């Protein structure tokens, strides 16, 4: 009799374990802070449908102008009338999204006081996305973006990716070249503009490789990657 009870109890525990992941998945679909329902993070394969045609640095403008195409729907994580958050096709970390503004602003130096509310909106949504993903994320702008159309990165702090191929890729996220979104907004609010010292920021990309977590020097990208496997734990 006791054996039967034990068997029934053990089967019950197994059932509970098997439903647990599903319950968590459903919970992850809702953020607690707003009514927005975000999807699970489900990045398309690397370089899925990267925008072709026209100049390469216009790819984000093309995406913003063709959000309803089937390819762009597949790579869109969130969209509203002001911003589109898309999977970065060359993710520089385990999770990497780009928030692209839909208004015709090229880069941070074009920002004016009239854009403060727009930035607040975008940053708020981005922070909610980061909270929803439940992973340590960094949210910020590249001081000197390579792509036209104002955008910022929502990227997990691991910085582990096959797409990090050189010092410039890594330093663009691991140094002050990466401008936290709150810093950009504060400067815009206080000064009415965002000023970028080009030489200073270009030099940061040439910095020697240093782990962004423990600041230890790293000889080269393969060594850095090996180190990050441990340091990220």
- The set of catalytic residues is 151
Query: Widest CA span of the chain, in angstroms?
Result: 80
Closest separation in Å from C-beta 51 to ligand AMP: 4
* Residues at the contact surface with ligand AMP, assessed by CB under 6 A: 50-51, 59, 88-90, 98, 142, 145-147
Closest separation in Å from C-beta 101 to ligand AMP: 12
CA distance 202 to 206: 7
CA distance 8 to 91: 47
CA distance 118 to 125: 11
Closest separation in Å from C-beta 24 to ligand AMP: 29
Closest separation in Å from C-beta 218 to ligand AMP: 21
CA distance 70 to 47: 15
CA distance 144 to 121: 22
């Amino acid at each position: 009799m006791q054996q039967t009870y034990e068997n029934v109890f053990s089967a019950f525990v197994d059932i509970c374990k098997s439903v647990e992941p599903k319950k968590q998945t459903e919970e992850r679909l809702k953020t607690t802070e707003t009514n927005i329902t975000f999807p699970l993070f489900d990045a398309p394969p690397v370089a899925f449908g990267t925008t072709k045609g026209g100049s390469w640095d216009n790819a984000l403008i093309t995406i913003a102008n063709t959000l309803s195409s089937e390819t762009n729907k597949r790579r869109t994580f969130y969209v509203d009338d002001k911003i589109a958050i898309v999977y970065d096709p060359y993710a520089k970390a385990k999770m990497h999204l780009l928030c692209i503004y839909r208004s015709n602003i090229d880069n941070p130096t074009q920002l004016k006081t009239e854009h403060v509310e727009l930035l607040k909106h975008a940053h708020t949504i981005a922070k909610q996305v980061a909270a929803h993903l439940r992973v340590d994320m960094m949210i910020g702008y590249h001081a000197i973006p390579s792509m036209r159309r104002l955008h910022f990165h929502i990227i997990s702090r691991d910085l582990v990716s096959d797409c990090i191929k050189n010092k410039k890729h890594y330093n663009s996220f691991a140094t002050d070249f990466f401008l936290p979104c709150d810093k950009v907004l504060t400067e815009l609010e206080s000064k009415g503009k965002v000023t970028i010292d080009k030489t200073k920021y270009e030099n940061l990309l040439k910095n020697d490789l240093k782990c962004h977590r423990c600041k230890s020097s790293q000889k080269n990208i393969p060594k850095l990657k090996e180190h990050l496997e441990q340091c990220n734990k």
